[in-house]
A = this chain, B = another copy of it.
Amino acid sequence: MLDGFRRAIGIEPDFDNCPIRGVLDRIGDKWSTLMVLTLALRPHRFGELKRAIPDISQRMLTQTLRDLQRDGYVARKVFPTTPPAVEYRLTDLGRSLMVPLAGLVDWAVKTRGEVEAARAAFDRENV
Q: Taking beta carbons and an 8 Å cutoff, which residues of A are in contact with B?
A: 2-3, 5-6, 8-12, 15, 19-20, 22-25, 27-29, 33-34, 37-38, 40-41, 53-55, 69-72, 93, 96-97, 99-109, 111-112, 114-115, 117-119, 121-123
Contact = CB atoms under 8 A, between A and B. Distances in A.
B27 A9 contact: no
A106 B101 CA distance: 12
Copies of this chain held together in the complex: 2
Contacts of A24: 27-28, 33, 104, 108
A11 B29 contact: no
Given A23-B104, A34-B10, A70 B109 contact: no
Nearest to A31: B10
A100 B100 CA distance: 7
A25 B23 contact: no
B72 A118 contact: yes
Contact of A9 (B12, B25, B28, B37): B37
B15 A115 contact: no
B93 A111 contact: yes
